[in-house]
Structure 1
Amino acid sequence: MPTTTQLEHLLREAALRVTRPRVAVLAAVYEHPHADTDAIIGVVRTQLGEVSHQAVYDVLRALTAADLVRRIQPSGSVARYESRVGDNHHHVVCRTCGAIADVDCAVSATPCLTASDDHGFAIDEAEVTYWGVCPACSTTTAAITAR
């Protein structure tokens, strides 16, 4: 987790003004990878007190546009945010509880960016989502089934 000074530096490097809401939202995303907006709002409110939903949405939009955070939205899920940007990683999502984890690319630096037919597109990003059941839900399901 970066310090407040490091978060302020990231904002300045991205040509964003340093404000308390921006620092708080960026810290929340670092502290809670794959959190949705409501969870981020809850974390920010514990730090700053009352802050509007719109303010957090606006900060998340600015941080995403500046490539300081990444917005992901697995099928059937609300948008989620993570601080891991600038690399080619994917996600695994639990079909039962919705837990999300990062998955590094299996082979080489960017194998998913080499499409079998790019149809003339200049491809710069690929999204792969793995779906399954997390260990906690697998254990719960197994325990229920064994009864």
Structure 2
Amino acid sequence: MTTDATAELEAHGTAERLRAAGLKVTAQRVAVFEALSGHGEHLDAEAVFERVRTCLPTTSLQAVYGVLGALSTAGLLRKIEPAGSPALYESRIGDNHHHLACTGCHRVVDVECVVGEAPCLTPSNADGFQIHTAEVTFWGLCDACQRTTASEPQG
């Protein structure tokens, strides 16, 4: 199968997912969704914009923000907001995973549910809420930042 044929099939799958979520299929929505799909990454809007503008050079950063918002609201992307960082978007949806965030380089990685099934954590008092999601971010230094910190001269 040629690269063009593969891309066409992927775009078709994306179009079906957009329609199933009740969204109109546009070139920008397809490009933004595909910039995040299947990579296991956590990207901010500017990183998504950089990927999208290679195939849609007239797209604006504001348009990317709008599409990210629409895709998140429709449940096709997950938006996470680590403290002190811009909002990040990921394509891993449908589970209640958590995140590890490095305070050095700001890398974010997925970590499976802490214990048991979603929502993984139970508050001491739900105050009448029916809990469906628990969002946990573990903060620390990744291996690379630990090595950098350990190799810096102590002064």
TM-score where L is the length of structure 2: 0.86
1:112 offset after TM fit, Å? 2.9
1:142 offset after TM fit, Å? 1.7
Residues in 1 aligned to 2:120 and 2:153: alpha-carbon distance in whole angstroms: 38
Paired residue for 1:3? 10
Residues in 1 aligned to 2:40 and 2:57: alpha-carbon distance in whole angstroms: 19
Residues in 1 aligned to 2:72 and 2:35: alpha-carbon distance in whole angstroms: 14
Query: Aligned residues: percent identity?
Result: 49
TM-score where L is the length of structure 1: 0.91
Paired residue for 1:48? 56
Aligned pairs for 1:22-41 within 5 A:
22-30=29-37, 31=39, 33-41=41-49
Residues in 2 aligned to 1:111 and 1:44: alpha-carbon distance in whole angstroms: 34
Measured at CA, do residues 60 and 111 of structure 1 come closer, stay the same or move farther in structure 2, by a change above 3 Å?
closer
Residues in 2 aligned to 1:3 and 1:133: alpha-carbon distance in whole angstroms: 36
Paired residue for 2:82? 74
Root-mean-square deviation over aligned CA pairs: 1.9
Residues in 2 aligned to 1:4 and 1:86: alpha-carbon distance in whole angstroms: 21
1:146 offset after TM fit, Å? 7.8
Moved more, 24-33 or 76-85: 24-33
Measured at CA, do residues 32 and 125 of structure 1 come closer, stay the same or move farther in structure 2, by a change above 3 Å?
closer
How many aligned positions are there?
146
1:145 offset after TM fit, Å? 4.2
* Structure 2 unaligned residues grouped into runs of 5+: 1-8
1:40 offset after TM fit, Å? 0.6
Q: Which amino acid is 1:33 matched to?
A: E
1:97 aligns with 2:105: yes
